[in-house]
Amino acid sequence: MHDADWQPRIVAFFCNWCTYTAADLAGVSRMKYAPNVRIIRLMCSGRADPQFILAAFSGGADGVLIGGCHVGDCHYAEGNLKTLRRFQLLKRVLRDLGIDERRLRLEWISAAEGDKVRTVVNEMTEEVRSLGPLGLPRRFAEWDGEMTHLEGLAQTAESQVEEAKPEAAHA
């Protein structure tokens, strides 16, 4: 179905204070985990605009991971709660778009939980691997191809109609 050398690509949005620091701790502790996650630092998980997540999927990500402070521990009091609400809505949108909701994951990881970064990244990488590539850029290209093809067909049909027109008018 997909290339044998395909590797899941996961974009992660980590909050500066808890999860990004936890990922630093995982590094300092030399924990080993799957190399499939690319971390983007935000000040708060609350900054994780749903558009970022959709942009990541449409840009070729097979999964998106959001990491924030535990509920009640947000550096900005309650940004993570806003994330949680958006996350629930976004999952519905993804479902409607036909994207398996397991491709989007939200985790609360405190600055002390380097081990949890490792576990979550490893788990998610394996889950996304089992789901296979999302391949939206390829699908977009295919759809674009189809559209161009259809447009071409429509144009031909139109010009045939145009050509037929004088006669029709005549009649």
Partner 1 sequence: MKDNCSNGEVRVGFYVCHCGHNIAGMIDCPAVAHYIGRLPGVAVSRDYKYMCSDPGQELIKQDIREHHLNRVVVASCSPLLHEHTFRHAVEAAGLNPFYFQMVNIREHSSWVHTDRVAATDKAMALSRAAVNRVRLHRPLETTRVPIHPDVLVVGGGISGIHAALTLANGGKKVFLVERDPSIGGHMAKFDKTFPTLDCAACILTPKMSAVRSHENITLWTYSEVVKVEGYVGNYVVTVKRKPRYVNEALCIGCQECINACIFKEAKFPDEFNVGLSKRKPVYIPFPQAVPQAVVIDPARCLHFKTGKCKQTCIEACGDRHAIDLTQKEELVQVKVGNIIVATGFRLFDAKRIPQYGYGLYPNVVTSIELERLVTSSGPTGGHVALRDGRTPQSVAFVLCVGSRDFKTNRWCSRTCCMHSMKLAQLVREHTGADVTVFYLDIRAPGKGCEEFYDKSLKDGIQFVRGRVAEVTDWAVTPEEEGKLVVRVEDTLAGLVRRIPVDMIVLAVGMEPHADAQDVRRLFNMSCGTEGWFLEKHPKMAPVATFTDGVFIAGCCQGPKDIPDSIAQAGAAAAEAMALIDRGYIEQEPNTAYIVEADCSGCKSCLALCPYTAIAFDETKGKASINAALCKGCGTCVAACPSGSIRQRLFEDDEIFSEIEGVLAHA
Minimal distance, residue 94 CB to partner 1, in Å: 16
Residue 76 vs 131, nearer CB to partner 1: 76
Minimal distance, residue 103 CB to partner 1, in Å: 14
Q: Tokens for 135?
A: 């391949």
Angle at 7 between CA 126 and CA 105, to 5 degrees: 45
Q: How far apart are CA 79 and CA 50, in angstroms?
A: 14
Number of residues that bind partner 1 (CB under 8 A): 51
Q: 84, 99 in Cβ contact below 8 A?
A: no
Residue 103 vs 118, nearer CB to partner 1: 118
All residues at 6 or more sequence positions from 115 whose CB lies less than 8 Å from its CB, including other chains: 26, 29, 31
Binding characters for partner 1, 54-93, by CB under 8 A (x = yes): -xx--xxx----------xx-xxxxx--x---x-------
Can you tell me which residue has the tokens 């093809």?
Answer: 149
Binding characters for partner 1, 4-43, by CB under 8 A (x = yes): ---x-x-x----xxx-xx-xx-xxx-xxxx-x--xxxxxx
Q: Tokens for 19?
A: 């999860």
DSSP string across 22-75: HHHHHHHTT----TTEEEEEES-GGG--HHHHHHHHHTT-SEEEEEEPPTT--T
Binding characters for partner 1, 90-129, by CB under 8 A (x = yes): --------------------xxxx----x-----------
Q: Which residues bind partner 1 (CB under 8 A)?
A: 7, 9, 11, 16-18, 20-21, 23-24, 26-28, 30-33, 35, 38-44, 46-52, 55-56, 59-61, 72-73, 75-79, 82, 86, 110-113, 118
